Amino acid sequence: MTTRQQNPVQIETLRRQISRLEGGQRPRDTAPVATGCGPLDRLLPERGLRRGTLVEWLAAGAGSGAETLALQAARQACRDGGTLIVLDRRREFYPPAAARLGIELERLMLVYATGEADNAWALDQALRCPGVAAIVAWPEQLDGRTFRRLQLAAEQGRGLGLLIRPPAARSEPSWADVRLLVEPLPAEPSQAEKRRLRICLLRCRGGTDGRSIDVEIDDETHLVHPASRLAAATAHHRAAGA
């Protein structure tokens, strides 16, 4: 029995929702999408992310900040219209937290797939939909053939596919336009409300790989700032000695 036969109601509901989105109008802007993180934009050759592409955020451990960064990029992608689809197979996504990041909940659609195959199919369909500006998903396993199909789907729909993946995926082939590694760094005791992260540019089409930046996320304002030189040096020393 196929996956679609196992879940005909859910699949048909998603198909109708995507069909409605396809009828919507979204600007076909070719300008890059700002990530919402100025220091990261300056690492990228076009000072942002290209529409119609996939972006991998390799999250090195819980609380790495990858989800926050991906959602900020999704918010930017939806600024001029379009829907944000979140494929929440584990049912761990918390919409109020997304609202605090500035995401308009009326533009948000949550999809709860029942398995990896359903999740991959929903991701493919969402990427192909011209009414979708951004998709956030947590695919754990992607073989080369599936990854390539998703890349072609993103090119067709012109949305931004933001894939949050485990660090083990670093050894696997990638069809993403940009691949980033996000690592948590020790926070300063006097600044417990701020998270310190290191963002490493592992791969970027047309750019220089291997560069990294240290940033801070303010958990109250959700603004991202470059880490101070002294704090960054201290965090780097601690991380190297761990």
Residues 131 and 83 sit within 8 Å (Cβ to Cβ)? yes
* Residue 57: closest CA among 144, 163, 146: 163
Domain 3-21+36-182: CATH superfamily is P-loop containing nucleotide triphosphate hydrolases (3.40.50.300)
Helices and strands, counts by H and E, the chain: 8, 9
Residues 36 and 79 sit within 8 Å (Cβ to Cβ)? no
Does pTM top 0.75 for this prediction?
yes
Partners of 212 in beta bridges:
200
* Residue 61: closest CA among 168, 184, 232: 184
Per-residue pLDDT 10s for the chain (242 aa) are 333 444 555 556 666 665 555 545 444 567 899 999 999 999 898 899 999 999 999 997 667 789 999 999 999 999 989 999 999 988 989 999 899 999 999 999 999 988 888 899 999 999 999 999 999 999 988 999 999 999 999 999 999 999 999 999 999 989 999 999 999 888 766 666 688 899 999 989 877 778 899 998 887 777 788 876 444 444 444 444 44
Residues 127 and 106 sit within 8 Å (Cβ to Cβ)? no
Identify the DSSP state of 113: -
Find the angle CA(128)-CA(169)-CA(206) to the nearest 5 degrees.
Answer: 65
